[in-house]
């Protein structure tokens, strides 16, 4: 197969590209990335000389370039990860999110449609896989602030922190209720993907995933940002009281799920991918502080005073919680790591790769960070 992976120089894309290039030597993987602030080819230096890997610097909104690439390289499959994904940025600049997430997805869909419909076999053996987010579902109530045991479990999530903070979970049949410009743009792109199946018969799949964490994540997101701040003893800005709940999944487990669904998922179906792993923001921050302090040889928890509460984000959803039982039941996937193990691996990676972090935070992100928190 010849497969395009868009956004392959980003956080999740880095792990998906590496998995596919190494696991499938008979595939040719085309990593299409615009290399915006969050794209970093240093993430993939180990793949540069692989014969089945090609990087293509291109914008997913550039329809002519994408169509020409599909025609020239005889593309069989698309895994569409490229997206603007930071909610704070979407609040400041919704137009960029509409352009990349909505029009970029439409550009990819239309290029695939034109090329695949020109072939004698048309859509046979083809697949358009669109990666979305749990944020399109809106928010869930936190009916159990102290946590309860959820109605589902996995080997990887059977530790003492496997708690749910409410009775309801995001399932594949929920209607969409996005609350931020980011989630609204992703919801729109999801609708376009499904419409191309219903209208043209394109073999599409959509997945909605919970928060990812792990190596190579751009440090505007909570976990790498706070690991770096703890290391340098900078303030840890916590929205509101830190009571917002998120479901966390180690990024390599997400990549494994994408691999499985791309090859074995049902066409026109939707799969939720989650870690069965809910944490309040303030609790995960305290775990990060203790872990970083311990690994740096400090007294465990001595940097708790870095926590700084700031004005809550506009439209900040209270709780996200994915039910991935369908994926587990139908395709046999489940997370491989308990959260504590995943956090330990993640913190160690960022502490061992400070040069990678310094190269990123010395650039455009540093200006963004300063502007975000200067007046708080």
Q: Which of 251, 283, 310 is nearest to 88 (CA)?
A: 310
CB 304 within 8 A of CB 287: no
Which of 59, 135, 243, 317 is an active site residue? 135
Which of 123, 129, 165, 182 is an active site residue? 182
- Distance from CA of residue 76 to its chain's centroid? 23
Q: Six-digit token pair at 83?
A: 């997206």
**Rounded distance between C-alpha atoms, residue 164 and residue 145, angstroms:** 9
Q: Which of 278, 328, 314 is nearest to 168 (CA)?
A: 278
Q: Six-digit token pair at 324?
A: 């991935």
- Judge whether 135 counts as a catalytic residue: yes
Element (H, E) at 307: strand 307-310
Residue 167 CA: distances (Å) to CA of 149, 150, 338: 10, 8, 22
- Judge whether 182 counts as a catalytic residue: yes
Q: Which of 32, 31, 12 is nearest to 255 (CA)?
A: 12
Which of 84, 134, 247, 303 is an active site residue? 134
CB 206 within 8 A of CB 193: yes
CB 276 within 8 A of CB 153: yes
**Rounded distance between C-alpha atoms, residue 32 and residue 81, angstroms:** 10
Q: Are strands 2-6 and 28-33 parallel, antiparallel or unpaired?
A: parallel
Residue 338 CA: distances (Å) to CA of 185, 253, 281, 335: 32, 11, 17, 8
Give the residue numbers annotated as catalytic, written as ranges: 134-135, 182
């Amino acid at each position: 197969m010849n497969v395009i992976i868009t956004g392959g120089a980003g956080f999740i894309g880095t792990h998906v590209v590496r998995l596919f290039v190494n696991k499938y030597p008979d595939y040719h993987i085309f990593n299409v990335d615009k290399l915006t602030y969050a794209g970093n080819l240093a993430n993939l230096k180990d793949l540069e000389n692989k014969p089945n890997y090609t990087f293509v610097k291109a914008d997913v909104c550039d329809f002519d370039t994408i169509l020409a690439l599909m025609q020239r390289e005889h593309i069989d499959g698309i895994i569409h990860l490229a997206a603007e994904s930071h909610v704070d940025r979407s609040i400041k600049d919704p137009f960029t999110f509409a352009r990349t997430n909505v029009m970029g997805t439409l550009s990819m869909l239309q290029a695939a449609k034109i090329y695949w419909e020109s072939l004698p076999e048309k859509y046979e053996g083809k697949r358009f896989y669109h990666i979305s987010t749990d944020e399109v579902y809106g928010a869930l109530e936190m009916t159990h602030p102290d946590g309860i045991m959820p109605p589902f479990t996995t080997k990887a999530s059977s530790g003492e922190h496997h708690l749910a903070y409410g009775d309801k979970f995001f399932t594949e049949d929920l209607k969409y209720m996005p609350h931020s410009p980011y989630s609204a743009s992703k919801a729109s792109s999801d609708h376009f993907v499904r419409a191309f199946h219903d209208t043209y018969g394109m073999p599409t799949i959509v997945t909605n995933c919970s928060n990812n964490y792990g190596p190579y994540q751009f440090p505007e997101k909570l976990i790498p940002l706070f690991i770096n701040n703890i290391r340098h003893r900078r303030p840890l800005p916590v929205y509101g009281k830190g009571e917002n709940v998120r479901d966390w999944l180690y990024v390599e487990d997400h990549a494994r799920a994408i691999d499985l669904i791309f090859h074995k998922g049902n066409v026109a179906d939707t799969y939720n991918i989650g870690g069965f792993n809910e944490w309040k923001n303030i609790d995960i921050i305290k775990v990060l502080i203790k872990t970083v302090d311990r690994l740096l040889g400090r007294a465990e928890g001595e940097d708790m005073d870095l926590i700084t509460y700031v004005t809550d984000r506009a439209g900040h959803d209270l709780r996200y919680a994915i039910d991935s039982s369908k994926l587990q039941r139908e395709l046999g996937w489940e997370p491989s790591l308990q959260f504590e193990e995943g956090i330990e691996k993640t913190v160690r990676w960022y502490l061992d790769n400070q040069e990678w972090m310094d190269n990123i935070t010395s650039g455009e992100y540093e200006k963004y960070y300063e502007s975000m928190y200067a007046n708080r």
